[in-house]
Structure 1
């Protein structure tokens, strides 16, 4: 990327933003021919003012267009910035494993160290500390990949693969939060293959859940529904007998909930009801909310998904009613990421009802709980933009301050 001419970099980021040359030209106030010449290197970009204008339209740091390392934003303590996304991308683009067929693998980090780092990364993600996670994730990816390669023909092969599968899942979840859905899909897909080598069908099952989440984020609701239902059906065998262990119930239940979200996106309310009913049954068998395989699955999380599915179907009142019926103690026991995520869903429900004041309150409550979940997610930005647009007069000081911190115009 650093060796690309600036025109190629412009074309690269325009493609990443899913903008045609015409749309890009219109936003710049230029002609399509001008854009085409810039991208082909026929026309030079020698004015910083134009480069910064292009960077603003593309939503990237101007330093990236110049082939330099971007300056970290002041708010990157909470959010994943462009530099970190590119570092994660570079780690995912490595294919060092194939070299093990030809060369001796380098000395890997001890598996105990990798295991400790992976556990810390999961906790960091589930406490919505995305900036901290992003700074450590590229190195963790490289170390887990190195361990997987080095231990491939030893007694530690399955554990190394298991740890790498987890790291891919963490990366997939974090990238999806940021809106990097294609990368999220790639990381989740990698996790499925690695999890199979690890010999853990539940790890592969929850990797399928991550694939479904990435597909849903990409707007591929039907494939997302299919992948969740197919794997859930395989896990459903003997769930009433010895196979109904807590870990299996948790993975099975999350697949059903993710399938319900996909079904809601397609508008199939009957399928949503069936899948949530199945998840409720699994949660009741489990007997509480647990974090087996990092799912946070249980009766409370089922209610959260029931509310989220109602929002997807445009049933804001149903979502708010579900929110009000959630057990406060169960909700308070959930990890910060889950609770703040729910506040975003309920805020969206209130906007559907036309109550922007309540929507603003939920965003502020989520921001107090887990700032990165509110400030970093495109979904929260969209809701806040809607709240500000529909607020009569000057918005309240707290919501105006939040908008300023998030870079959302008042």
Structure 2
């Protein structure tokens, strides 16, 4: 279990010839906190990972250790698709010839819709092999047609590149993910759909947040929120506009939390909560999970990012009372990837609060809901590894979860 995020932080700190005090002087944490990270007794939240990576002059993936070429890859072979995806992203506007003519657009659209659903459910292993060929066919249709059919082909191609971005990001190929986002923007710009173009820019802003470039991401997201309001019919947003606008507000809330602006994060959450109340139910327009459930998920996530893990867990108990349960349970209708992510976040919070049993249970629930998503998630890996190091009873179910994740 020596291959954990804290060990990587220590390794790069020594490479940069920095002491603990020199590093914490560049990051808003205490020396004792950094020492706990490096020993593996505590795991840094995503915002802190981005700060540490910037201070150490490396990408966040270097600290998380991605991509994970280990027992997981031996078993599932998912990363074997990466070279073909690189080729498609490189030849996006000048693709290789196909051996046979592409299938009709309605057929390709139906298959891409299935792929998009797989993406939202975190089914990367079965989704990956479908992408290169589907992208190739859609590219030929888009470049070889005209008028409305061409716009629709580019619309579906944008969704294909979004799935590629998600796959690359989850597997830890962050440079490939950024290229895929640029291809989403390229295709969306030719789709004739303003909301698809907003969605593409939203994805880029999300990557900025992950990299810790908060000022740039804030400007982009605030501009997108204004753009959605501008393009809404007669200045009155329908469900599609509301969903996209709400997702932007939630991303802004996460950004502000990671940037230490807790009041602004709360304000963005309040705005999103108002919008979700109008929608009343959870939606997935433009593959944006937005609604009352996702607002609550983000409220918990922002509290965790702010370091208030105690309050984050208190929210779960408070909302559980509405369901006559000890803690809040997500509805079955929420996208599996989103639900799995929530349980991984909560597991990390429980670990901070000393609830190892609860943390283990949440990791197992994340695995049950979306095993592909959970297995490649850096926070699940780091939390599972920490549980093993702290487990004095040598519980094989805890060690087994870490082995399953490739630790």
TM-score w.r.t. length of structure 1: 0.75
Residues 329-387 of structure 1 deviation map (CA, whole Å, 9 limit, x = unaligned): 75332121111110011111112222222111100111122111211112211221222
- Structure 2 residue 404 is the aligned partner of structure 1 residue 399: no
Partner of 1:214: 207
Do the aligned partners of 1:340 and 1:367 also contact (CA within 8 Å) in 2?
A: yes
Residue 182 of structure 1, CA deviation: 2.1
Name the SS for the 2:190 alignment partner.
Answer: helix
Match of 1:121 among 104, 108, 115: 115
Residues 202-245 of structure 1 deviation map (CA, whole Å, 9 limit, x = unaligned): 11122222112222223333323322221012213487966320
Partner of 1:377: 377
Partner of 2:292: 299
Match of 1:142 among 136, 159, 170: 136
Partner of 2:170: 177
Query: Which whole-Å CA distance do the structure 1 matches of 2:374 and 2:72 have between them?
Result: 19
Query: Which whole-Å CA distance do the structure 2 matches of 1:227 and 1:355 have between them?
Result: 38
Query: Which whole-Å CA distance do the structure 2 matches of 1:209 and 1:196 have between them?
Result: 13
Change (3 A) 1:173 1:224: farther
Partner of 1:13: none
Name the SS for the 2:102 alignment partner.
Answer: coil
Do the aligned partners of 1:176 and 1:214 also contact (CA within 8 Å) in 2?
A: no
Unpaired segments ≥5 residues, structure 2: 1-10, 17-64
Do the aligned partners of 1:289 and 1:301 also contact (CA within 8 Å) in 2?
A: yes
Unpaired segments ≥5 residues, structure 1: 1-18, 25-56, 63-70
RMSD: 3.0
Residues 135-192 of structure 1 deviation map (CA, whole Å, 9 limit, x = unaligned): 11122222222222112x3441110110111111111122222222222222122212
Match of 2:301 among 281, 302, 308: 308
Name the SS for the 1:333 alignment partner.
Answer: coil
Name the SS for the 1:88 alignment partner.
Answer: helix
TM-score w.r.t. length of structure 2: 0.76
Partner of 1:264: 257
Query: Which whole-Å CA distance do the structure 2 matches of 1:141 and 1:260 have between them?
Result: 33
Change (3 A) 1:257 1:72: closer
Residues 94-126 of structure 1 deviation map (CA, whole Å, 9 limit, x = unaligned): 14x2589xx9xx943311121011101011112
Higher RCO structure, 1 or 2 (CA under 8 Å, sep 6+): 2
Query: Which whole-Å CA distance do the structure 1 matches of 2:307 and 2:185 have between them?
Result: 33
Change (3 A) 1:394 1:87: farther
Do the aligned partners of 1:128 and 1:336 also contact (CA within 8 Å) in 2?
A: yes
Name the SS for the 2:332 alignment partner.
Answer: helix
Change (3 A) 1:395 1:90: farther
Do the aligned partners of 2:155 and 2:187 also contact (CA within 8 Å) in 1?
A: yes
Do the aligned partners of 1:121 and 1:133 also contact (CA within 8 Å) in 2?
A: yes
Change (3 A) 1:332 1:89: same
Partner of 1:351: 351
Query: Which whole-Å CA distance do the structure 1 matches of 2:163 and 2:387 have between them?
Result: 31
